[in-house]
Structure 1
Amino acid sequence: MAPEIAGIDQQPVVQVELGSLTIADSPRLDGERPEHIHALADAEAELPPITVHRTTMRVIDGAHRLHAARLRGRHTIAARFFDGDEAEAFVLAVQLNVAHGLPLTLADRKRAAERIIAWHAQWSDRRVAMVTGISPGTVADIRRRVLREPERAGKRIGQDGRFRPVDGSAGRIMAGRLLTENPGLSLRQVARAAGISPETARDVRSRLNKGEDLLPRQRGRRSGVTAPRAVPEPRGEFVPLAPVQSAGRPRAAPDPDRAGLVKRLKADPALRFSDTGRNLLRLFTLHALQNEEWDALIDNVPPHCRDLVADLARQFADLWSDFAVRVQEDVVQTG
């Protein structure tokens, strides 16, 4: 849960007069949906508290619930107050409407990202993505369109509140120097020291091992920063799953035996007899589909939610990538 949402959930619930509240500046481009308002009004259960901007008495989250309360003939409604400024109130409105209730449409979330980038140009793509529920790549495209200027040297604030450079070249070069001088450092230690992500640190280490340019091709051609010497790649008994194919539906290669690998893991008592181990096995089992089954899933995603499904898939892929880095680090450190 985002810190802002968690903070709101800790605020006291009070009864507020309906006549004192206003509805404006909603992240929903098409406004409220009458059918949803009537469904809430007809529900027997008590509705959750709405969220109100104390300074303006504007409803941040819960416009449908407010209309439903009026249909029920109520004069007051349960609410929690938020004390930030109006820009912060809008960010919170987006977060709350992405996290629960009637979800924002993709168009709503993209428009919200435009406004957030205009207000907080220093926020990282990933931080904006976490707020709006779209992919970091989509945020980057929106940023280029909204700012209409090339990236400048500087830093952005990530979702963890830390500043990181917009141009990662300096961080990659520093990471290469750290790994060269101290091969025993973990990827997380290198990432923290160089101000880059653990996945970027792993890429730098891989480039060092291969004697390649430390920077991606588009920047490496003009920098010429190459590895001074190879750093030994940590070894363990980790068997990587086959990489996800990013383009081209037809596959020439046969299906990897993911199900077989998962079956081997299921036989390991260290995983079978612990709650966390069983959770991990369940996750792997869900992913151990044949390529034809993945194709069937893709073909049957409804057109109206394909963008949302793709965005979620990318976010989960990022989580798995970070998971893989951290698991391999633990193997190296304890091996």
Structure 2
Amino acid sequence: MDMDTVVEVEIGSLSVAGSPRISGEDEEHVEMLAVAQAPLPPIIAHRGTMRVIDGVHRLRAAERRGDDKIAVRFFEGGEADAFVLAVESNISHGLPLSMADRKSAAERIIRSHPLWSDRMIASVTGIAPGTVAEIRRRVSGAAAGRGRIGQDGRFRPLNGAEGRRLAGDLIAENPGLSLRQIARASGISPETARDVRNRLRRGEEPLLKGRGRTARAHEDREPAGHTGPRDADEGATAPARIPAQDRTVVVRRLKVDPALRFSETGRTLLRLLSIHTISAEEWDDIMANIPPHCSGIIAQLARECADIWADFAQRAERSVVETV
């Protein structure tokens, strides 16, 4: 069941625990909704826990009206992503979250999605990227990692120079690795991996002289919405694999983009991308249940599909370059 499907649910089966609102519900807002004549819009609830993600005030208003049921759209993802959706929903409409609520939410998201960039978390919580960076510095145990996932869903290394060093070590130890394997393992782009390999063949150092800016610093300076490709030392896109839970969030954000959702080709693309948001465990289950007599042809089709997506990715990146 997708989030476009609306069902009637017993109010007593829903929970309101875990709201991003620190001070709880606003009684005046509940009363205003309760006395309004218009039907209440559907709320959003987490399928796994029946917890209300968006619409606690509407739920309370329905109770006050004496309703037994309420219209619900179900979210099927994990609890961490459900909280992200709750925050995102409550800064875009209805009664806005307070600044204290937003900062508290940012801290929680930093812990649950440590690879997300400051801009990505800022876009969800409605606070400045610099404020997110300050909160990240205070969060005990917040993983630094090798890079961050930006608003466009791309992984970028925090330090391009470190990526080049790691690529150089990998090439020296395993000269037979492909450029994509080197790039994925070191968090740099394939073109940067090619440059590192060529430099080593010429007996040069893998690092570029006089280039030490980190990708994180560059990302915080760039305008919101920038998606152009960059060299690794300027925060280049790297083909690192995005965790399934983060892919789910990125695809969900794409689904609300009018340029995609209101065109037939855009909806087709979103359906194709949604297929790849399942978890590693689900892929393992699928793999474990492939009939032996089908394994060969399935493997061949999987490789061909991977080639199609790789070609699609290259063409998409080229189109970005042509429009910047």
TM, length-normalised to structure 2:
0.51
Aligned to 1:11: 4
Q: Which of 66, 69, 72 is the matching residue for 2:65? A: 72
* 1:99 CA drift (Å): 1.3
CA distance in 2, matches of 1:56, 1:156: 29
* 1:170 CA drift (Å): 5.3
Aligned to 1:310: none
Check the 8 A contact 2:109/2:121 in 1, yes or no: yes
* 1:11 CA drift (Å): 2.2
Q: Which of 210, 214, 217 is the matching residue for 2:211? A: 214
CA distance in 2, matches of 1:194, 1:170: 16
Q: Deviations over 1:178-228 (max 9, x none)?
A: xxxxxxxxxxxxx97679xxxxxxxxxxxxxxxx943359xxxxxxxxxxx
* 1:36 CA drift (Å): 0.3
Aligned to 1:99: 92
Q: Which of 101, 110, 132 is the matching residue for 1:139? A: 132
Aligned to 1:50: 43
Confirm or deny that 1:318 pairs with 2:223. yes
CA distance in 2, matches of 1:68, 1:160: 37
Aligned to 1:85: 78
Check the 8 A contact 2:20/2:105 in 1, yes or no: yes
* 1:58 CA drift (Å): 1.0
- Structure 2 gap ranges (5+): 166-187, 193-208, 215-219, 229-318
Cα pair distance change 1:121/1:319, threshold 3 Å:
closer
Give, as a single letter, the amino acid of the residue that structure 2 aligns with 1:108.
Answer: D
Give, as a single letter, the amino acid of the residue that structure 2 aligns with 1:164.
Answer: R
Cα pair distance change 1:153/1:95, threshold 3 Å:
closer
Aligned to 1:159: 151
Give the SS at the match of 2:34: helix
Cα pair distance change 1:192/1:137, threshold 3 Å:
farther
TM, length-normalised to structure 1:
0.50
Check the 8 A contact 1:172/1:194 in 2, yes or no: no
Matched length: 194
Aligned to 1:125: 118
CA distance in 1, matches of 2:162, 2:191: 8
* 1:161 CA drift (Å): 2.0
Check the 8 A contact 2:152/2:225 in 1, yes or no: no
Identity %: 55
Check the 8 A contact 2:30/2:57 in 1, yes or no: yes
CA distance in 1, matches of 2:150, 2:227: 15
CA distance in 1, matches of 2:78, 2:213: 40
CA distance in 1, matches of 2:20, 2:161: 36
- Structure 1 gap ranges (5+): 1-6, 174-190, 196-211, 218-314, 324-329
Give, as a single letter, the amino acid of the residue that structure 2 aligns with 1:115.
Answer: R
Cα pair distance change 1:51/1:154, threshold 3 Å:
same
Give, as a single letter, the amino acid of the residue that structure 2 aligns with 1:85.
Answer: G
CA RMSD of aligned residues (A): 3.6
CA distance in 2, matches of 1:37, 1:14: 22
Check the 8 A contact 2:9/2:72 in 1, yes or no: yes
Kindly report which structure 2 residues correspond to 1:36-47, keeping only aligned pairs within 5 A, or say none: 36-47=29-40
* 1:142 CA drift (Å): 0.6
Give, as a single letter, the amino acid of the residue that structure 1 aligns with 2:212.
Answer: L
Give, as a single letter, the amino acid of the residue that structure 2 aligns with 1:64.
Answer: H
CA distance in 1, matches of 2:145, 2:74: 38
Give the SS at the match of 2:45: strand
Cα pair distance change 1:28/1:168, threshold 3 Å:
farther
* 1:26 CA drift (Å): 0.2
